[in-house]
């Protein structure tokens, strides 16, 4: 199995630092390497509880495997660096240290690109690496220098990155403009998030009078943003209020669905881990929330088997089993009193009620 | 369940600026669901100078349900029952909001004292009087304030002297006053019925 056709595990978690230079595939259509390397070697301590597949793969399928230790053991699949490392962390450490030590001693000294993460990776094609290293854009960034000090200094085979003004680390690759740009963006995003979090930390819920982000239960440390006004509440308080049964004379729209402070009517509440400081930020939170819900199938619609009471205003996805989205044709009926009534399906009740359809 | 953490916070908050607002809330016994609030009568009204006690009971759903409030001090007002002390105020009923607190609710009650709503009365007799004989209303309200809302301002000795002047023996007056917690009106009632 070629590496390029195996989905990168780091990419799958949204955290591959190598970008275009990753030797694994960044295409969601490619399968993930889900095979347990410990099972391959003979014994997996997790047994049937292992998250990885317990299958034997013949040696013909493995592309990289001239490491002596691997030769001694059962035939294995090409070591996926990320897969191997995540398996290692989850498994008994005895095996890990053995193999990583021996593999390190055999590794060419100029190829340890991703520090600990790829300690398991077995690279045999030294000439290939040398050739690659000639082009500075192909040389990976030095992770030691990025986080602090690289003792190899000028002798380091890896590129020492430029200083990123936002995170203050040497993480900008001098010869990969795309990667620089990506890092720059993600760094600024996380910086912004951190600032927002600091700002949100101060904010109190007006109902329980507690700081929302310091509530005792982790699940309650969330804001409930009202769509129409900017008063802060924690999600549990505002949902509790909106779902409380109206006492006598209480109107659902003017009392329960209104903001407890300014009494402005809001039709929905958006949960959010952070509070916003500008209109644009609020819109961004709302849009993100809505797009997330749009990807979830509506349980009322139930792939066309059920009827969703929210109809076209539903935030969830209305799609049939074959992936086709629901198409709604709204019919505008002129009522006798001159008003227009919008109906979805023709129901007997349309005719039975005193609504007169022209 | 009543959100006790919130009630505790409210009490602290309320007692912090008691000098400014004059509004006090304190627990009746050990439980935080039965409280007593006191509000000063608003200046420029017949209630000026009086201190009004309000019984507060927090329902299980508080703060998502309004607190139950009732005047413990007798008061002459179109929107407050002269018999039971029941208060007719929208925010204590259908206009309640969880963002309101005991202090803000008591402030609203205080505002109600200075701005009666005779068109939406709780006590029809008082409301009638308010509409037809404004002067009599003001006089009655002032008299009730003097009689019922000012007792606590008098010292114990003054109360004793007042009751002794009415013809009761001093030692009985003292023991009765002690028994009713210093309320001279209650003491008078007890002395008369004894």
Q: Are residues B125 and B167 in the same domain?
A: no
What value does the mean pLDDT take over residues A6-16?
A: 81
Longest dimension (CA), chain B: 53
Q: Are residues B141 and B177 in the same domain?
A: no
Q: Which of A69-78, A302-311, A348-357 has the lowest mean pLDDT?
A: A69-78
- Are B187 and B177 in contact by the 8 Å Cβ rule? The answer is yes
**Of the candidates A86, A100, A101, the residue with the CA atom closest to the CA atom of residue A10:** A86
Share of chain A above pLDDT 90, in %: 8
Q: Are residues B15 and B47 in the same domain?
A: yes
Residue-by-residue DSSP string for chain B: ---HHHHHHHHHHHHHTHHHH--EEEESSS-TTEEEEEEEPPTTSTTTT-EEEEEEE--TTTTSSPPEEEESS---BTTB-TTT-BB--GGGTTT--TT--HHHHHHHHHHHHHS--TTS-SSHHHHHHHHH-HHHHHHHHHHHHHHHSSGGGS-HHHHHHHHHHTT--HHHHHHHHHHTTS-HHHHHHHHHH-
Reported as a pLDDT band with limits 50, 70 and 90, residue A181 is confident
Cross-chain residue pair B6–A209, CB shorter than 8 Å:
yes
Q: Are residues B113 and B128 in the same domain?
A: yes
A163 or A104: whose pLDDT is higher? Answer: A163
- Are A10 and A118 in contact by the 8 Å Cβ rule? The answer is no
Rounded Cα gap, residues A32 and A22, in angstroms:
15
Task: Tell me the CATH number at B106.
Answer: 3.10.110.10
Q: Are residues A236 and A276 in the same domain?
A: yes
pLDDT at A7: 84
- Whole-model pTM? 0.60
Rounded Cα gap, residues B36 and B152, in angstroms:
15
Q: Are residues A40 and A93 in the same domain?
A: yes
Chain segment A133-157, per-residue pLDDT in tens: 567 777 788 888 887 788 887 788 8
CB-facing half-sphere around the CA of A228: CA atoms within 13 A: 12
The reply to whether A13 falls in a domain is no
Q: Which of A11-20, A313-322, A335-344 has the lowest mean pLDDT?
A: A335-344
Contacts of A247 in chain B (CB under 8 A): 65, 93-94
Is A204 at the interface with chain B, CB within 8 A? no
Is it the case that residue A242 has pLDDT exceeding 50?
yes
Q: Are residues B168 and B137 in the same domain?
A: no
Q: Are residues A180 and A206 in the same domain?
A: no
Mutation site for B-interface testing, chosen from A208, A209, A238, A265 by largest number of B Cβ within 10 Å: A209
The reply to whether A9 falls in a domain is no
Q: Are residues B11 and B91 in the same domain?
A: yes
User: Can you give the residue range of the structural domain that contains B182?
Assistant: 156-193
User: Can you give the residue range of the structural domain that contains A338?
Assistant: 302-352
Label residue A326 left, alpha or beta by phi (over 0 means left) and psi (-120 to 50 means alpha). Answer: beta
pLDDT at B141: 92
Number of domains in chain B: 2
Beta-carbon contacts of residue A335 (< 8 Å; ≥ 6 apart)? A341, A355, A356, A357
Reported as a pLDDT band with limits 50, 70 and 90, residue A255 is confident
Q: Are residues B87 and B23 in the same domain?
A: yes
Burial, A131: exposed, middle or buried (Cβ in 10 Å; 0-12, 13-18, 19+)? Answer: exposed
Is it the case that residue A348 has pLDDT exceeding 70?
no
Q: Are residues A279 and A210 in the same domain?
A: yes
Contacts of B94 in chain A (CB under 8 A): 247-251, 255
Chain segment A196-224, per-residue pLDDT in tens: 888 888 888 989 888 888 888 888 889 99
Is it the case that residue A128 has pLDDT exceeding 50?
no
The reply to whether A12 falls in a domain is no
Supply the mean pLDDT for chain B. Answer: 87
Number of domains in chain A: 4
Rounded Cα gap, residues B194 and B169, in angstroms:
13
The reply to whether A208 falls in a domain is yes
Cross-chain residue pair A207–B98, CB shorter than 8 Å:
yes
Supply the mean pLDDT for chain A. Answer: 74
Contacts of B91 in chain A (CB under 8 A): none
Chain segment A27-81, per-residue pLDDT in tens: 877 877 778 888 888 888 888 888 888 877 654 444 444 444 444 444 444 444 4
pLDDT at A134: 64
Q: Are residues A36 and A95 in the same domain?
A: yes
Contacts of B95 in chain A (CB under 8 A): 255
Q: Are residues A283 and A307 in the same domain?
A: no
Rounded Cα gap, residues A122 and A65, in angstroms:
8
Chain segment A155-179, per-residue pLDDT in tens: 888 888 888 888 888 888 888 888 8
What value does the mean pLDDT take over residues A83-92?
A: 41
3-state DSSP assignment of residue A45: coil
Q: Point out the residues of B that are catalytic.
A: 88
Q: Are residues B165 and B132 in the same domain?
A: no
pLDDT at A251: 73
3-state DSSP assignment of residue A334: strand
Q: Are residues B187 and B117 in the same domain?
A: no
Q: Are residues B85 and B140 in the same domain?
A: yes
Share of chain A above pLDDT 70, in %: 71
Rounded Cα gap, residues A216 and A207, in angstroms:
15
Bridge pairing between strands A331-334 and A269-272: unpaired
Low-confidence ranges of chain B (pLDDT < 70): 151-155, 181-182
Domain boundary among A168, A191, A214: A191
Chain segment B4-44, per-residue pLDDT in tens: 889 998 998 888 888 888 898 988 887 888 999 999 999 99
Nearest CA in chain A to B63: A207
Q: Are residues B182 and B133 in the same domain?
A: no
Q: Are residues A140 and A174 in the same domain?
A: yes
Is B94 at the interface with chain A, CB within 8 A? yes
The reply to whether A130 falls in a domain is no
Q: Are residues B107 and B169 in the same domain?
A: no
Burial, A82: exposed, middle or buried (Cβ in 10 Å; 0-12, 13-18, 19+)? Answer: buried
Q: Are residues A246 and A205 in the same domain?
A: yes
Query: What is the ipTM, given to two decimal places?
Result: 0.71
A256 or B151: whose pLDDT is higher? Answer: A256
Is it the case that residue A91 has pLDDT exceeding 60?
no
Domain boundary among A54, A85, A116: A116
């Amino acid at each position: 199995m070629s590496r390029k056709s195996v989905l990168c595990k780091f990419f799958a978690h949204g955290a591959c630092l190598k970008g275009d230079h990753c030797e694994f595939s960044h295409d969601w259509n490619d399968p993930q390497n889900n095979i347990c390397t410990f099972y391959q070697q003979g014994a997996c301590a997790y047994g049937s509880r292992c998250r990885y597949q317990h299958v034997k793969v013949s040696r013909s399928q493995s592309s990289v495997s001239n490491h002596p230790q691997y030769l001694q053991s059962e035939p294995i699949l090409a070591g996926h660096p990320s897969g191997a490392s995540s398996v290692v962390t989850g498994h008994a450490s005895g095996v890990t240290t053995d193999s990583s030590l021996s593999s390190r001693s055999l590794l060419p000294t100029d190829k340890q690109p991703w520090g600990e993460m790829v300690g398991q990776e077995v690279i045999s094609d030294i000439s290939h690496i040398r050739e690659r290293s000639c082009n500075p854009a192909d040389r990976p960034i030095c992770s030691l220098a990025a986080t602090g000090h690289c003792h190899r200094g000028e002798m380091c085979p890896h590129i020492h990155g430029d200083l990123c003004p936002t995170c203050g680390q040497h993480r900008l690759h001098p010869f990969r403009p795309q990667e620089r740009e990506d890092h720059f963006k993600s760094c600024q995003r996380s910086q912004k998030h951190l600032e927002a979090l600091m700002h949100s930390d101060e904010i109190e819920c007006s109902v329980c009078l507690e700081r929302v982000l310091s509530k005792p239960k982790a699940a309650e440390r969330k804001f409930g943003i009202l769509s129409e006004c900017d008063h802060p509440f924690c999600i549990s308080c505002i949902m509790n209020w909106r779902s409380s049964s109206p006492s006598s004379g209480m109107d659902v729209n003017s009392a329960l669905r209104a903001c407890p402070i300014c009494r402005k009517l809001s039709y929905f509440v958006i949960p959010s881990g952070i509070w916003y400081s500008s209109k644009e930020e609020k819109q961004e939170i709302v849009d993100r929330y809505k797009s997330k819900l749009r990807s979830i199938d509506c349980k009322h619609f139930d792939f066309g088997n059920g009827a969703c009471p929210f109809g076209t205003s539903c935030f969830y996805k209305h799609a049939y089993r074959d992936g086709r989205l629901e198409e709604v044709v709204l019919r505008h009926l002129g009522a006798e009193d001159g008003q227009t009534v919008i109906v979805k399906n023709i129901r007997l009740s349309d005719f039975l009620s005193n609504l007169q359809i022209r | 369940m009543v959100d006790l953490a919130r009630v505790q916070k409210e009490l602290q908050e309320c007692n912090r600026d008691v000098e400014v607002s004059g509004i006090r809330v304190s627990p009746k016994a050990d439980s935080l669901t039965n409280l007593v609030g006191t509000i000063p009568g608003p200046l420029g009204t017949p209630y000026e100078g009086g201190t009004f006690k309000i019984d507060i009971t927090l329902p299980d759903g508080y703060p998502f349900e309004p607190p139950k409030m009732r005047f413990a001090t007798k008061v002459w007002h179109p929107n407050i029952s002269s018999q039971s002390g029941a208060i007719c105020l929208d925010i204590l009923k259908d206009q309640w909001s969880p963002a309101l607190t005991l202090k803000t609710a008591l402030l609203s009650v205080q505002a109600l004292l200075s701005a009666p709503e005779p068109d939406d009365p709780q006590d029809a007799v008082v409301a009638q009087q308010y509409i037809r004989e404004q002067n009599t209303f003001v006089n009655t309200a002032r008299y009730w304030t003097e009689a019922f809302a000012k007792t606590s301002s008098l010292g114990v000795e003054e109360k004793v002297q007042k009751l002794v002047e009415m013809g009761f023996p001093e030692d009985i007056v003292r023991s009765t006053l002690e028994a009713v917690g210093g309320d001279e009106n209650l003491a008078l009632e007890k002395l008369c019925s004894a």
